Amino acid sequence: MPLSRSLSMTSLSGLLPAWEEDELPVEDLLLFEVAWEVTNKVGGIYTVIQSKAKITVDEWGENYYMMGPYYEHNFKTQVEGCEPPNAAVRKAMDSLTHNGCQVHFGRWLIEGSPYVILFDIGSAAWNLDRWKGDLWESCHIGLPYHDREANDSLILGSLIAWFFKELTDHLGDKPNIIGHFHEWQAGPGLILSRSRKIPMATVFTTHATLLGRYLCAGNVDFYNNLDKFDIDKEAGERQIYHRYCLERAAVHCAHVFTTVSQITAVEANHMLHRKPDVVTPNGLNVKKFSAMHEFQNMHSTNKVRIQEFVRGHFYGHLDFSLDKTLFFFIAGRYEFSNKGADIFLESLSRLNYLLRVHKNDMTVVVFFIMPAKTNNFNVESLKGQAVRKQLWDTAQTVKEKFGKKLYDALLKGQIPDMNAILDRDDFTIMKRAIYATQRHGLPPVTTHNMLDDSTDPILSSVRRIGLFNSRNDRVKVIFHPEFLSSTSPLLPMDYEDFVRGCNLGVFPSYYEPWGYTPGECTVMGIPSVTTNLSGFGCFMEEHVSDPAAYGIYIVDRRFRSPEESCNQLTQFMFSFCQQSRRQRIIQRNRTERLSDLLDWRYLGRVIELTQTFLCSQTEGFRYPRPSSVPPSPSASVHSTPHHSDVEDDDDDEPYDEDDEAERDRLNIKTPFVLGGVPEGKKKQPGESGL
């Protein structure tokens, strides 16, 4: 049964063509996806639109276009310019160009190579005052002159609405345009298109409400007081009232309103006063991360690279065994409270205490990968890597001399005198190398020189809890305030390789509408910690009956106090530290088997559901039955544990493939049960009837 429409939703009659087939007639439609982050990486929306481009292009072909702002550097490095294949699109672009507004077209050089239409905001800025007047006349929203981002979004929206007007004029009587707008920055384009009665169907997706992000950053008890906030007052006090108005107007102007998770749907209902029509979870291009049965060996290989960095960083204090060291990490935007870095640090302090009290020989090295203001690498961090490299060179030199003398002795049929095989010079070289590893201070907590060292939230918390990387600490902290890069002279690893080398990702977010970081861990077979306030955590709770057994630890931050949540997170991490290698291998296999739940091949069908729901509101449309999806990842992913070369069996943990398959069948729910396969439609491999 189709979802009921919002009271603000006007009729779609005449905007889209009627059809009588069970599939959406994409050959008769043009789909335009509008986002500020098309070819312009700012945050998570970039990952959303980039990762699902391939499946969208596969479905829509040359009838799919992305739209966003033009930045010269991004265009030169990410886009291959070409001419539009559609004559109406080309004429609409020419109309804008002849009126002094620059529009660029090409293929975005990502998987799927979708067409992109990019609008040069600078070339049209001379129209800003006039367009502000148009916005005020149409919906009585005024924008302050000093808000550059809001003004730029209005320019982009005005250009997009202008483009759609020209396009529909050239198309004539064919009502075949769908516009999908992401976030408030794309909102003005939707608002102006609707106010000018342009014949097109519209979808608006909010990935996080604007006010919700601001409120959570202010450490308020957000989710328990959703119905108590004076929305207008809160937005006004934060000087974002005009942005909030744009977002709310776009939500109520859209024919269909969607969010990315159930938790965000609840938030949007209170913050924006409209219940989402459809929830469209974010997926990943799992094929990109797929390593089949090699993911265990990839974990081992990349773990060795992280160990090399740790050897240099802790030189002179490397009194713990790297074979009994676990690597935890947190990564993302530097939002100290929203991302849960506050509760994570407090839990690390308690974990350190538990490991010391229980005399556990396991050491935990924790990485904070969050970009902050710095002026360069600090000298001590660079020196550590230089010392490590020199020690390695010294060891290689002595090894070559030792090997040659041993080889010569064996050729003569003699057992060499081990006391004579190394001469005095060799011992001198080795002693000098050992003395070079001595350091007078503790290993640094941060790898860079921080500009706001005294007020930085992470460093302030580290000082408060006293985790200074001393010899007695079983938990070591490394703050890397810069995104990872394979060209870095300090930690030369890409983010994907780094994640594969870690043992656990920890993301105890308080405000996380979806959460790509734990999702990326999952598809790479790395266990992770999330919360029931993140879209990812709620999704896993809904579809996996025992998430912890599959390496998804969900902290309750909604119904428990901060103290209780902190203790729960501490217990999760302590229990993880007590696992044997064999148990961690089995858990990584189970985690990787959840990949299919997050694949756009399946979650993309919910986008298709949204499009068909949009069309079902039009007179003459018959609501089609979407395809079913594979019932369990176990049907397509082998479940036998594959060992890394380093991680040997150190216990007799039982493992039976049939038992694992039965566990999957009982614990993992199908991603989306939307109905049976339409009559006459051929089932895809792996699909089953319902």
d(CA 273, CA 267): 9
Helix, strand, or coil here: 205?
Answer: strand
Helix, strand, or coil here: 646?
Answer: coil
For residue 201, give Cα distances in angstroms to 247, 307, 474, 610.
Answer: 18, 54, 58, 12
**What is the pLDDT averaged over residues 578-601?**
90
24-33, 185-194, 280-289, 369-378: least confidently modelled range: 280-289
Q: Residue 446: how many CA atoms within 13 Å on its side-chain side?
A: 26
Residue 176: both structure tokens together: 């075949």
HEC string for 64-106 = EEEEEECCHHHHHHHEEECCCCCHHHHHHHHHHHHCCCCEEEE
Would you give the distance in Å from CA 28 to the centre of its chain? 34
Q: Which residue has the tokens 């800025």?
A: 125
Determine contact, residues 688/631, Cβ cutoff 8 Å: yes
- The beta strands (E) that lie in 471-615 are given as 475-480, 504-506, 528-531, 552-555
d(CA 442, CA 578): 27
Nearest to 176 by CA among 12, 11, 30: 30
365 DSSP β-pair partners:
327, 476
Q: Which residue has the tokens 């734990």?
A: 518
485 DSSP β-pair partners:
492
Q: What angle do CA 643, 662, 297 make, to 5 degrees?
A: 15
pLDDT at 643: 46
- The beta strands (E) that lie in 197-322 are given as 201-206, 256-259, 278-279
- Burial of 74 from C-beta contacts in 10 A (0-12 / 13-18 / 19+): middle
Side chain identity, residue 420: A
381 or 646, higher pLDDT:
381
pLDDT at 654: 62
Fold type of domain 287-378+444-598: Rossmann fold (3.40.50)
pLDDT digits (tens, 9 = 90+) for 286-310: 776 665 567 788 999 999 999 999 9
Q: pLDDT at residue 483 above 60?
A: yes
d(CA 563, CA 608): 42
pLDDT at 636: 36
> Which band of pLDDT confidence, cut at 50, 70 and 90, is reported for residue 647?
very low
Determine contact, residues 116/75, Cβ cutoff 8 Å: no
pLDDT digits (tens, 9 = 90+) for 279-291: 888 888 777 666 5
**What is the pLDDT averaged over residues 201-213?**
93
Helices vs. strands in the chain: H and E counts, helices first: 24, 17
d(CA 320, CA 198): 67
Q: What angle do CA 502, 504, 507 make, to 5 degrees?
A: 120
pLDDT at 605: 60
Residue 569: both structure tokens together: 């997170």
For residue 369, give Cα distances in angstroms to 467, 482, 495, 499.
Answer: 17, 7, 10, 11
**What is the pLDDT averaged over residues 243-257?**
95
Nearest to 247 by CA among 194, 211, 275, 196: 211
pLDDT at 173: 72
Nearest to 580 by CA among 407, 323, 368: 323
Q: pLDDT at residue 624 above 80?
A: no
In the chain, where are the structural domains located?
Answer: 26-208, 287-378+444-598, 379-443
> Which band of pLDDT confidence, cut at 50, 70 and 90, is reported for residue 631?
very low
Do 26-208 and 287-378+444-598 come out as alike in CATH topology?
A: yes
216-225, 338-347, 375-384, 639-648: least confidently modelled range: 639-648
What is the CATH code for 26-208? 3.40.50.2000
Q: What is the mean pLDDT of the chain?
A: 85
pLDDT at 8: 35
pLDDT digits (tens, 9 = 90+) for 91-146: 999 999 999 999 999 999 999 999 999 999 999 999 999 999 999 999 999 999 99
For residue 606, give Cα distances in angstroms to 559, 599, 611, 629.
Answer: 29, 12, 9, 11
